[in-house]
Amino acid sequence: MNSSVLRRTVLIITVAAFLVGIGAAARAEVEPNSLFSDGTVLQQGVAVPVWGAGKDGEQVTVKIQDQTVSTTVRDGRWLVRLKPMKAGGPFTMTITGDNTITITNVLVGEVWLCSGQSNMAFHLAQAANAAEAIAVAGDSQLRLFTVPYGATDTPKAEVPGSWKESSPETARGFSAVAWFFGRELRRALKVPVGLINSSVGGTPAEAWTSRATLEADPGLREILERYAEQVNKYDPVAAAAQHERAVEKHKQAVEKAEAAGEKPPRAPKAPADPRKSPVRPCGLYNAMIAPLEPYAIAGAIWYQGEANASRAAQYQKLFPAMIQDWRQAWGQGDFPFFFVQIAPHQAMKPEIREAQLVSWQKVPRTAMAVITDIGDEKDIHPTKKEPVGARLALAARAIAYGENLEYSGPVYASLKIEGDHVVLSFTHIGSGLLAKDGELKGFTIAGADGTFSAAKATIEVDKVVVSSPSVPQPVAVRYGWANTPDVNLFNKEGLPATPFRTDVK
């Protein structure tokens, strides 16, 4: 070996050893999970997990206020639990191993996970009263954390990101529903509030559910089987060739349209690879929910269901399973989980709203915000997000925080047939039932033949009496049973009744 080759060989070995040394040194330094950054909000009143990475055998000590907790790194990970703390701050947290990390401006208060699809992802800047809300968005006690988009086939341990104080600059691109929810809690509770937004538009509930949960139920396992079939059928070479042919055909169509002075057709999209789809089962759970576990939270709010509207019967099982999945993963018991019923829209059938209602009725410590009065027939993204956040906050105040207030509009409970009319009873009537802006509307009635006709409905004390001359022997009633229900039954607290049918099988 000549001298020049020898020198190069020695140099390569030296550099490699140096880089390995740097990597080892980096791994030796204790690192907290990214959720624990300057400005973080910790949940009050519960044991708070704090965790991160380090070198095996490294002693890690976490200090905050008058607490000091230590542990040892195992398999590259460490976790301690702080004793319950009272709301307040700002505090400083130090995490010491072979090095020391100082986390400043830490608050203790209420932390909520905010998730779902596009109506949760919908930015404050897009909301109906955006300018007014953004102008007063400055609140150092309201903190925002946005989970970046990602979908993976295996659970991630961490997501990049940091906590930000609410300000006109940070709030405008944050979830409108979540921000309004947080603002209402701040006003009611007078404690710091932290919001973690993990939402992606156009996504079904199975993408937010773990594989173990889907595999455990035969009725949900078919979701995984259908996906596996899509993957097996997908041929990337054939898909590329097909797209190439479509592009060439489109090019010819554009030339023809331009020659005729017509609008050219849209360019064809490349065939989607199901293995990379953001809506594939478990993908979003793995990348955007699993890394948050077990960060201490007060509960979760959820706005989703549009992507599952065509499978409403399955959603009655899938949605409760997803809620239970998250609760098991967090290990905090049945933490509060509040969600939004899908707004009226020309493509949203009533069965999906019923599936959400059924989920509420059978899953403990949940609530549903009904928004039949603020939908848009032609826009799946109604811009009036402030009342949505406010109604979710009412549920939180009542269920999570024990305030004695009405948090829901009327909910059908039972019926009694009296000759040619039906008497309906409700829960959540508050201080009384109300027909908003005129006579009651949105009710239909049917006899044994199952043919529903428009009905007359009146409020009698705390009941609704429904009848129709064309149905002398009624057996069933429906309310708001349409894609875009035109309804006006409220309670006097101003909360709308959920659509329902009494003939559900």
The one-letter code for the residue type at 105 is N
Q: How far apart are CA 110 and CA 450, in angstroms?
A: 49
Residue 271's pLDDT is: 84
The alpha-helical segments, DSSP class H, found in 207-311 are 211-216, 218-233, 236-259, 283-284
Copy the structure tokens of residue 175: 């979830």
Task: Decide if pLDDT at 28 tops 70.
Answer: no
Residue 156's pLDDT is: 97
Residue 240's pLDDT is: 85
- Please check whether residue 190 is in contact with residue 397, taking contact to mean a CB–CB distance below 8 angstroms: no
Task: Decide if pLDDT at 18 tops 60.
Answer: no
Query: What mean pLDDT do residues 407-432 have?
Result: 98
Confidence of residue 244 (pLDDT cuts 50, 70, 90): confident
Q: How many CB atoms lie within 10 A of CB 318?
A: 25
Copy the structure tokens of residue 415: 């019926």
Average pLDDT, the chain: 93
pLDDT single digits (tens) 125-135: 999 999 999 99
Sign, CA dihedral 126-386-373-358, equals positive
- Please report the beta strands in 275-420, taking only residues with DSSP state E, as ranges in sequence order: 299-303, 337-340, 366-369, 411-418
pLDDT single digits (tens) 50-100: 999 999 999 999 999 999 999 999 999 999 999 999 999 999 999 999 999
pLDDT single digits (tens) 140-179: 999 999 999 999 999 999 999 999 999 999 999 999 999 9
Task: Please give the helix or strand (H or E) that residue 360 lies within, else none.
Answer: helix 350-362
Task: Decide if pLDDT at 474 tops 70.
Answer: yes
Confidence of residue 278 (pLDDT cuts 50, 70, 90): confident
Residue 27's pLDDT is: 47
Chain CA centroid to CA 491, Å: 27
**Which position has the token pair 């020049």?**
4
pTM: 0.91
- Please check whether residue 490 is in contact with residue 410, taking contact to mean a CB–CB distance below 8 angstroms: yes
Task: Decide if pLDDT at 358 tops 50.
Answer: yes
pLDDT single digits (tens) 335-351: 999 999 999 999 999 99
Q: How many CB atoms lie within 10 A of CB 27?
A: 14
HEC string of 411-440? EEEEEEEECCEEEEEEECCCCCEEECCCCC
Q: How far apart are CA 376 and CA 383, in angstroms?
A: 9
pLDDT single digits (tens) 314-332: 999 999 999 999 999 999 9
The better pLDDT of the pair 259, 303 is held by 303
Residue 16's pLDDT is: 38
Task: Decide if pLDDT at 11 tops 60.
Answer: no
The one-letter code for the residue type at 126 is Q
Measured at the CA of 85, the angle between CA 79 and CA 87, to 5 degrees, comes to: 125
Residue 257's pLDDT is: 86
The better pLDDT of the pair 259, 40 is held by 40
474: which DSSP letter? -
Class of 108-232+262-408 in CATH = alpha beta
124: which DSSP letter? G
Q: How far apart are CA 348 and CA 315, in angstroms?
A: 14
Nearest to 284 by CA among 207, 346, 211, 226: 207
Task: Decide if pLDDT at 397 tops 90.
Answer: yes
Q: How far apart are CA 102 and CA 93, in angstroms?
A: 6
Query: What mean pLDDT do residues 364-371 have?
Result: 98
Nearest to 38 by CA among 162, 121, 153, 125: 162
Residues of the chain with CATH 3.40.50.1110: 108-232+262-408
Helix, strand or coil, per DSSP, at residue 297: coil
DSSP 182-215: HHHHHHHH-S-EEEEEEE-TT--GGGGS-HHHHH
Task: Decide if pLDDT at 354 tops 70.
Answer: yes
